Chains A and B, each alone.
Chain A
Amino acid sequence: MEFTLITLLNGLSYGLLLFMLSSGLTLIFSMMGVLNFAHASFYMLGAYFAYAISGKLGFWPALFIAPLLVGVIGAFVERYGLRSVHKYGHIPELLFTFGLSYVMVELVQLIWGRAAVPYPIPPELDGPLFTLFTTTFPMYRGFMMLIAVLMLVSIFLVLTKTRIGLVIQAALTHPEMVEALGHNVPRVFMLVFGGGCALAGLAGVIGGNAFVTEPGMAATVGSIIFVVVVVGGMGSLVGALLASLLIGVLQTFAVALDYSFATLFAGLGGSIGPETFGYPVLKLTISQVAPILPYMLLVLILIFRPRGLMGTREG
């Protein structure tokens, strides 16, 4: 019981982190039709900036400055890079962000080296939040969830209640019309791209010290957020939320479970040994299979519900 609860909470916090990442990606895709391959690299950038800033100024300034910096860099990239590729079509845009992800990892390695950097959880947040029976739930995880929920709420409020939010929503589907109405749509695009990257940076700030901050962190999380976006339905924020939570909980549970088909059969009285047909598959524990679960989910969704959980805009 306690295991389920704690794992559920852990899964939710991981899922919310995934959502922080994929929300920016979904927004950028909905708005501009470009799938930002470098999104996970901005996540990494956020973590490294936070590491650098928190080393000098402390965690709390880093929490605000790092995402802003990442957002500015994102806006810069859009203005001087992506925009000139826009005229060639969607595939060159995707390729541009693909190359960018490559280069960003290299630059980060150039500046901070190839090993993981010790980006610590701030002492005020390090410790148990509450204890369920015998397992403690770390305060920092709770903090992560709080930030994620705050972020979710503020995106919702900005998009639906503010004027700029309305313009963004309109430009989501009819950029030319919005431009004809006198809004500076290229500037809106730049804002959204920068904003999406800032969200990724924020996720990096709070995720980098909870997990590990190293050059490979972009690759680890990169493919999963694309799965989230496709499973949730390209262009749907709610879908991204559902898919993030689903994958987060699924993976966290899977990693913790050590059962396999072999143990199942053994429990039912049968005996499974290395000579049994299909033993390599049967002996796999759920925790060993955990890494592929998101991708299996992707394949299943594509076969049975190709437009995703809440798909709106087609790729």
Chain B
Amino acid sequence: MNTITMQTTLTYKPINLGRWIIWGMFALILIIAPMIFNKGASLSILSQIGTVMIFGLSYNMLLGQGGMLSFGHAVYSGLGAFFAIHAMNLASAGSMWMPVTMIPLVGGLAGMFFGILFGYVTTKKSGTTFAMITLGIVELVFACSLMFPEFFGGEGGISTNRVYGEPIFGVTYGPQIQVYYLIAFWLFISTIGMYAFTQTPLGRIINAVRDNPERVEFVGYDTQWARYLTLILSGFFAGISGGLSAINFEIVTAENVSALRSGGVLLFTFIGGVGFFFGPMIGAIIGVFLTVMLSDFTKAWQLYLGVFFIVMVMYAPGGIASLIMLNLRVAKYGKFGRVWPHLWKTCLLALIALVGIVMMIEMLYHLTLESVNGTTMKLFGSMVDTAAPTGWLIAAALLAVGGFGFWQTKKGFSQVWGEVSTEIEEQIRRAGA
């Protein structure tokens, strides 16, 4: 007995050290990020990324860890946001005491409450039916939001001023940098919370439910109850992200509880990768980048987002995180050198084809939507006349060259990748035997 306990304590030590390093680096990155990205709008983008990260992580508790596809997660974050913003208004009017720092907690509790309420109905079913029900619930709440303007503010939503109460240590939350650090703080503790969840009995059982819900019943667990509890906790963290959103934007509208926003978090989380804990965080970065920054450059950003998503579903359903981890695994086994030559060629040719397609889409958008302003547009830095054939010919040429080249190199790449993967799997199998 003694040797076993000695062994267990000994093996835990190295993991602990790694854990401190990872969380430490995370905290460090959060702290110094605004100093690195210090251009004008960067701070507001970082703040947004922060809230969407919490939202995506809470969503992945359902999708990645529990196998529950929800089309209505914005209900919890949105209602959390509404409760938070009302709390802020009440607090600044003096009717109740709630410092801004604690507002996200109000959002979290609201999210949790609605998780308890709606979760009871939604978790009665699983799989595709569950997904449809969540869509019905979000549409229900969204439609309700237009029916109760007293609470939801009607078309204009509810606004607030986040600067109220006595400043603590000079912090008023007026400047964006202070809001960023508030978000970073809540992001840090929420991430710890959600990661800790994955290391609890419920966290592991919900994984088992994802893999084989029937079997779970035969080892003594009620799958519906496991899903229900997980949804409640997920709603709590979603509510926190909603509360932070209310603080950040100082306005909450019906859009916060819409199917559109729910679809958005689904897209981002999936693109980031549902199979890894940090996947939604990558998804949040990409998602905010695409919606906020790309929309400044092109009107077709929604099309790009949709197509990008479809491509991921078809060819990389594990998301960006899985792509990173797969390549890391190849590197770990020392085989990256063989893959690299094929990889960069395939990527380059895909990029060329992509430029061609983007050109065509941009020109088409310009023609149909903006032609009243003239047919020339700025494309990749130079002026192009969309009505003239030159631009189209160049685009078509790029597409043809890139497409054909990609098709050729893809074969070689797939072959090498397949070989390498089989070798690695053999090594793993042999290591165990």
Residues of chain A having any CB pair with chain B under 8 Å:
29, 33, 35, 81, 84-85, 88, 90-92, 94-96, 98-100, 102-103, 106-107, 110-114, 219, 223, 226-227, 229-230, 234, 280-281, 284, 288-289, 291-292, 294-296, 298-299, 302-303, 306, 314-315
Please report the C-alpha to C-alpha distance between residue A33 and residue B124 in the assembled complex, in whole angstroms.
19
CB of A96 within 8 A of CB of B132, answer: no
- Contact across chains for B140 and A230 when beta carbons are under 8 A apart: no
Enumerate chain A residues within 8 angstroms of B126, measured Cβ to Cβ.
315
- Please report whether the interface of chain B is mostly helix, strand, loop or mixed according to DSSP: helix
Picked from A88, A91, A99, A223, the residue with its CB within 8 Å of the CB of B139 is A223
Residues of chain B lying within 8 A (CB to CB) of residue A294 = 136
Complex contact B147–A99 (CB within 8 A) = no
Residues of B near A315 (CB, < 8 A) are 125-130, 132
Say whether A95 contacts B313, CB under 8 Å.
yes
**Most chain A beta-carbon contacts within 10 A, residue among B132, B263, B266, B369:** B132
Does B135 contact A223, Cβ atoms closer than 8 Å? yes
A94 touches B140 (CB 8 A): no
Nearest B residue (CB) for A219:
B259
- Asked whether A110 lies within 8 Å of B133 as measured between CB atoms, the reply is no
Question: Cβ of B326 < 8 Å from any Cβ of A?
Answer: no
Q: For A229, give its contact among B69, B125, B132, B303 (CB under 8 Å).
A: B132
Nearest CB in chain B to that of A289: its residue:
B147
**Given A96-B313, A96-B314, A299-B121, 20 more pairs with CB closer than 8 A:** A90-B127, A99-B267, A99-B307, A103-B303, A103-B310, A110-B303, A110-B364, A110-B368, A110-B369, A113-B368, A223-B135, A226-B132, A227-B136, A234-B128, A280-B151, A291-B143, A295-B137, A298-B136, A306-B124, A315-B127
Residues of chain A contacted by B166 (CB below 8 angstroms): none
Q: What is the chain B residue whose CB lies nearest that of A293?
A: B143
Question: Which B residues contact A (CB, under 8 angstroms)?
Answer: 67, 69, 71, 121, 124-133, 135-137, 139-140, 143-144, 146-148, 150-151, 259, 263, 266-267, 270, 300, 302-303, 305-307, 309-310, 313-314, 317, 361, 364-365, 368-369
Instruction: Give bound CA distance, A289 to B398, whole Å.
Output: 54
A-B pairs with CB below 8 Å: how many? 129
A111, A284, A299, A302: the one contacting B368 at CB < 8 Å is A111
Q: Which of A99, A229, A303 contacts B310 (CB 8 A)?
A: A99
Instruction: Give the 10 A-B residue pairs with the shortest CB-CB distance, closest first.
Output: A315-B129, A295-B140, A102-B306, A103-B306, A315-B128, A99-B310, A106-B303, A291-B143, A298-B136, A99-B309
Q: Which B residues are CB-close (under 8 A) to A227? A: 132, 136
Task: Give the complex CA separation of A142 and B267 in angstroms.
Answer: 41
CA distance A280 to B364 in the complex (A): 48
Q: Looking across the interface, which residue of chain B has its beta carbon closest to that of A224?
A: B139
Q: Is the CB of A106 within 8 A of B306?
A: yes
The smallest C-beta distance from B147 to any residue of chain A, in angstroms, reads 6
Q: Is the CB of B259 within 8 A of A223?
A: yes
Q: Which residues of A contact B144 (CB under 8 A)?
A: 292
Asked whether A295 lies within 8 Å of B136 as measured between CB atoms, the reply is yes
- Are B127 and A95 in touch, CB under 8 angstroms? no
By the criterion CB–CB under 8 Å, are B121 and A302 in contact?
yes
26 A-B contact pairs sorted by A residue (CB < 8 Å): A33-B128, A35-B128, A81-B314, A88-B317, A90-B128, A92-B317, A95-B69, A95-B309, A98-B71, A99-B309, A102-B263, A102-B306, A102-B309, A103-B306, A106-B302, A106-B306, A223-B135, A230-B136, A292-B140, A292-B144, A292-B147, A294-B136, A295-B136, A295-B143, A302-B125, A314-B129
